[in-house]
Structure 1
Amino acid sequence: MTHKIIQPEGWLPAKGYANGVLTRDGVLHIGGQIGWTGEQRFESQDFIGQMRQALRNIRAIVEAAGGKAEDVTRLTWFVTDKREYLARQAEVGAAYREVFGRHFPAMSMVVVAGLIEDEALVEIEAIAHLR
């Protein structure tokens, strides 16, 4: 087998995709994470709350694969409201540091018309390199 599916313990199964795929050479590809919990419930309808949860989900997948937040090398963000993201930069930064500390991987930000889950305001995918 050339890869291993990564699924944090206690999470509901992903349908039609994998939350994480770890390759033999230690590259962890993390599918887009939205602001719902491992039980696939939105606890926040707010951009910052959903962003924080999406980042927590990424960290949980990295840790389930045996890594840590500092192993994340790339984040790609998909946001539905550019104005809200820009207007709330101080809160974005504080929530980000709460989850990832002062680790800042390469990042891209893409503004999208919508996401598959209607309640989702942000989706973040990641790549990590585990040592």
Structure 2
Amino acid sequence: MTGTIIQPEGWAKPKGYANGILDKNGILHVAGQVGWDENEVFQTHDFIGQMAQALKNIRAIVLAAGGQVSDVVRLTWYVTDAEDYLMYQAEVGTVYRKVFGHHFPAMSLVVVRGLIEPGALLEIEATAVLDID
């Protein structure tokens, strides 16, 4: 394999994938993160709560790789209900800024019919570019 597996300390080991892979050029590929905690348990079943946790998960993976939130260059959001996103847009912005501050990378939002994890309302994947010199 070309790259280093990134796994935040104390997290449950993922089954069949890696939470993050840092390649030799400093590009960190973060697997889609749902709104569960480090033990793979959903603590909330609402859109905003899951969104906050997914973003915190991404932040934890970036930090575990030696980066910071400002290194994130792309986020792709997969949501199961566009209305949830649109209905809570103000809260989305507030919660996003609490986790990521005023750093706004390139983003896409895709509405999907469903996600593989039962109970997941959204999944967010990320790419970060770390200075590994």
Interval of TM-score (by shorter of Structure 1 and Structure 2): over 0.9
Q: How many residues are treated as equivalent by the alignment?
A: 131
* Cα distance in 1, alignment partners of residues 64 and 47 from structure 2: 26
Q: Tell me how far 1:2 sits from its aligned partner.
A: 2.8
* Cα distance in 1, alignment partners of residues 17 and 91 from structure 2: 31
* Cα distance in 1, alignment partners of residues 60 and 122 from structure 2: 17
Q: Corresponding residue for 1:125?
A: 125
- Could you tell me which amino acid in structure 1 is paired with residue 128 of structure 2? A
**CA offsets per residue over residues 79-102 of structure 1, 9 Å max, x none?**
001011001100000010000000
Normalized against structure 1, the TM-score is what? 0.99
* Cα distance in 2, alignment partners of residues 76 and 64 from structure 1: 20
Q: Secondary structure at the match of 1:55?
A: helix
Q: Secondary structure at the match of 1:127?
A: strand
Q: Tell me how far 1:118 sits from its aligned partner.
A: 1.4
Q: Secondary structure at the match of 2:90?
A: helix
Q: Corresponding residue for 1:95?
A: 95
* Cα distance in 1, alignment partners of residues 60 and 85 from structure 2: 24
Q: Corresponding residue for 1:66?
A: 66
| Residue ranges of structure 1 left out of the alignment (5+ in a row) | none
Q: Corresponding residue for 1:41?
A: 41
* Cα distance in 1, alignment partners of residues 69 and 84 from structure 2: 26
Percentage of matched positions with identical amino acids: 65
Q: Secondary structure at the match of 1:5?
A: strand
> Does structure 1 residue 113 correspond to structure 2 residue 113?
yes
Q: Corresponding residue for 2:27?
A: 27
| Residue ranges of structure 2 left out of the alignment (5+ in a row) | none
Over the aligned positions, Cα root-mean-square deviation in angstroms equals: 0.7
Q: Secondary structure at the match of 2:110?
A: strand
Q: Corresponding residue for 2:7?
A: 7
Q: Secondary structure at the match of 1:78?
A: strand
Q: Secondary structure at the match of 2:39?
A: coil
* Cα distance in 1, alignment partners of residues 84 and 44 from structure 2: 15
Q: Corresponding residue for 1:53?
A: 53
